[in-house]
Structure 1
Amino acid sequence: MPRPQSDPEKIPDMTLPDPPDDYVSTLACSNGTGLLAAGSWDKTVRVWSVVQPDCRYAYIHGGPVLCACWTTDGKQLFSGGMDGVGFLSDASTGQVVQSTRHDTAIQMANWLEFSNGSSALLTTEWDKTMKASFWDPRTPEPIQTTILHDYPTSVNVRSPLLVVGMAKHYIEIFHLDYAGSPFKTRLSPLKSTTTVVSCFTNGPLIGYAVGAMDGRTAIWYAEEHNTSNDFIFRCHSQDTCSDSGGLPVAHTVNDISFHPVNGTLATCGSDGTIKLWDKDHQKRLKTLEIYEGPVSRCSFNPDGTILAYATNRRLSVGISPKYQIKLHMCNTEVKG
């Protein structure tokens, strides 16, 4: 991709109070309620208001929290983690109830809306059968279970598309109304392990991005006749680095979030940067250098005015690790 004309710049972003004490594994922005949820390896789920930034409520799991997602109306939050227990919390009261129990860790969660108006909770597990289970939160048992090709590493949904990234480079693509089996299975064009998948819509076109440990991202369209628009770009890798003796250095793509209005995207990486991209013109729009260690997660809020992200300062001699969640106010930089 061509480089932007301006140099990267450090942006003074808002830091949320009461951050977690360990690695932030998930960020989720709600629809309509102005809330942001974060799950962490310190076993906590914390929910903030992004309007008047304060921590509204928090609760504790029995193990590290791996995933969290909001219902479509933003009134309830589901979270799951290593202990296999799923909780639902009420956004207005902070009340928490147990909703599911899995045999193994609940790795990822997404809220699904079908064309007939029904909804369900999608979860994936860390078990040998590598199941994706569609849970109705009103019932204790899954209403549908799908056996995947391999161990899932990332799941993302944007109606009507559901995409699952897996080990051994498998990518399975589902249509939400026929989610019992994939309508397509592909192999990732990237050579290293898939770390994140993220769906997008572009007018009538639907597709997804695949990020990997080698610092690259692929943009793929779901339909065969649109594959001429597929491409791969480097987003968190360098040609050479003096610290590596002049050898190429790759930093993991940790997360990808698409702007809900403009269709541009943000990638965040282990190099401590967030980069904004225009996929339609295949160019980089801006680099945000965070300077505080790897950026583990990023997420646009529903109207695209805020980009939330989590930083994890590296442990070094004499300095304790530090975990922060910040809000970047978006402007014309995300328009492409």
Structure 2
Amino acid sequence: MSSQFELAQNPTDVISAVKFASKTPTRLLVSSWDRNLYLYDTHAEPGGKLLQKYEHPAPVLDVCFGRDDNEAYTACLDWEVRRIDLETGAQTVLSTHEAAARNVIFSPEHNLLISSSWDATLHLHSLSTPGEFSTVSLDSKSFSLSVSPTKLVVAMASRSVCIYDLDTLAKAAAQGDTVAVEPWQRRESSMKYMTRAVACMPNDAGYASSSIEGRVAVEWFDPSDESQSRKYAFKCHRQTIDDKDMVYPVNALAFHPVHGTFASGGGDGVVALWDGVAKRRIRQYQRFPASIATLAFSGDGKYVAVGVSPGFEDGLDDVPDGVMKVFIRELSDTEAQGKKK
């Protein structure tokens, strides 16, 4: 049986990210433009329980859990990357970019925290040696990051995508200072318009990316011609209103950790589940009240968190109160399963 509910105490401004803890499937972090990071136990009581709120000096653009479920890292509009001790609330600045820190992601296999910024750099923080970090220059401004067990995929402006080898980045992180790291591969997006989100397959085989123009592309890491010939892109998150074709940005992508299928969330307020290998849509959920800003599956694959916030496509300059919502959906055993082989 699948069921869905809205968190009782939601952020008061646009939701930038939702992330589940790796060990505790009901522990959820939500970052917001209201300058707060929120920690919930989604199932402690009906509507979930807000355990703690951590105020920041500026809007929080991204968050991830760290080495355990009591450690979080944030990327902030004030250029800073912070460590948050979720138990004590203590905040430590790890590094300061030269523009807004846009994304932050942790690779448990490499004990490596990676942040990206609108200053077109990555900061590499080896968590074994706190206080030191290395800077890597990117080809252009970064929009989205995702890691697989061995790779980091960076989606950037000018439709470029760089794939880095995490072993190489982990070595570079130990050097400190500015390091020259060549990507393992440079690719041009197979979509014509700006990339909005990227997500790696949990099996380390490839990634999906999405654009502002209602499309998703699925690609494989393996550079062989055979693998590269499998890549494809498809249209989604579109609807016809008054005989006009409306095309919406695909803001969010997330892979299911067990089944390897993925979810997309669009400016049309719709979340869809896809089987990327069989190239088919598995299901589409009932429309949410506003644009989908962000999506995440829990580590055990039982839950999906959906961050809903009005986007520019809603034509609202001032965001009315009460439209920022986080929904938690409990998935049935077969809900996110792909096509049977």
- Distance in 1 (alpha carbons) for counterparts of 2:272 and 2:31: 23
- Distance in 2 (alpha carbons) for counterparts of 1:182 and 1:136: 19
Q: What SS is found at the alignment partner of 1:190?
A: coil
Aligned to 1:8: none
Q: CA distance change for structure 1 residues 318 and 146 in 2, over 3 Å: closer, same or farther?
A: closer
For the 8 Å contact 1:212–1:252, the answer to whether it is kept is: yes
- Distance in 2 (alpha carbons) for counterparts of 1:165 and 1:317: 29
- Paired letter, 2:144: S
For the 8 Å contact 1:214–1:237, the answer to whether it is kept is: no
Aligned to 1:7: none
1:1-336 to structure 2, matched below 5 A, reads 13-33=4-24, 34-52=26-44, 53-91=48-86, 93-102=87-96, 103-114=98-109, 118-127=110-119, 130-137=120-127, 138-142=129-133, 144-179=134-169, 180-202=181-203, 206-225=205-224, 226-238=227-239, 240-242=240-242, 246-313=243-310, 315=316, 320=321, 322-331=323-332, 332-336=334-338
Q: CA distance change for structure 1 residues 214 and 140 in 2, over 3 Å: closer, same or farther?
A: same
- Paired letter, 2:92: Q
- Distance in 1 (alpha carbons) for counterparts of 2:320 and 2:161: 40
- Count the aligned residue pairs: 313
Q: What SS is found at the alignment partner of 2:9?
A: coil
For the 8 Å contact 2:101–2:115, the answer to whether it is kept is: yes
- Distance in 1 (alpha carbons) for counterparts of 2:143 and 2:321: 29
The Cα shift of 1:72 comes to 3.9
Q: What SS is found at the alignment partner of 2:116?
A: strand
- Distance in 2 (alpha carbons) for counterparts of 1:139 and 1:317: 40
For the 8 Å contact 1:85–1:98, the answer to whether it is kept is: no
- Distance in 1 (alpha carbons) for counterparts of 2:330 and 2:38: 21
The Cα shift of 1:321 comes to 5.2
Query: What is the TM-score when the length of structure 1 is the normalising length?
Result: 0.88
Aligned to 2:172: none
Deviations 1:255-276 (A, max 9, x none): 1000000001000010000000
The Cα shift of 1:320 comes to 4.3
Q: CA distance change for structure 1 residues 82 and 316 in 2, over 3 Å: closer, same or farther?
A: closer
- Distance in 2 (alpha carbons) for counterparts of 1:74 and 1:90: 10
Deviations 1:207-228 (A, max 9, x none): 0001000010000001122112
**Greater Cα shift, 36-45 or 99-108:** 99-108
Unpaired runs of 5+ residues, structure 1, are 1-10
For the 8 Å contact 2:12–2:321, the answer to whether it is kept is: no
The Cα shift of 1:90 comes to 2.7
For the 8 Å contact 2:81–2:115, the answer to whether it is kept is: no
Q: What SS is found at the alignment partner of 2:335?
A: helix
- Distance in 2 (alpha carbons) for counterparts of 1:291 and 1:126: 30
Over aligned residue pairs, what C-alpha RMSD do you find?
A: 2.0
The Cα shift of 1:24 comes to 0.3
Q: CA distance change for structure 1 residues 89 and 223 in 2, over 3 Å: closer, same or farther?
A: same
- Distance in 2 (alpha carbons) for counterparts of 1:39 and 1:251: 23
For the 8 Å contact 1:146–1:181, the answer to whether it is kept is: no
Segments of 4+ moved more than 6 angstroms? 316-319
The Cα shift of 1:15 comes to 1.2
For the 8 Å contact 1:216–1:237, the answer to whether it is kept is: no
Unpaired runs of 5+ residues, structure 2, are 170-180
- Distance in 2 (alpha carbons) for counterparts of 1:306 and 1:251: 25
- Distance in 2 (alpha carbons) for counterparts of 1:290 and 1:47: 26
Query: What is the TM-score when the length of structure 2 is the normalising length?
Result: 0.86
- Distance in 2 (alpha carbons) for counterparts of 1:105 and 1:153: 11
The Cα shift of 1:190 comes to 0.4
- Distance in 2 (alpha carbons) for counterparts of 1:104 and 1:317: 25
* Percent identity of paired positions between Structure 1 and Structure 2: 25
The Cα shift of 1:318 comes to 12
- Distance in 2 (alpha carbons) for counterparts of 1:64 and 1:222: 34
The Cα shift of 1:99 comes to 2.8
For the 8 Å contact 1:31–1:72, the answer to whether it is kept is: no
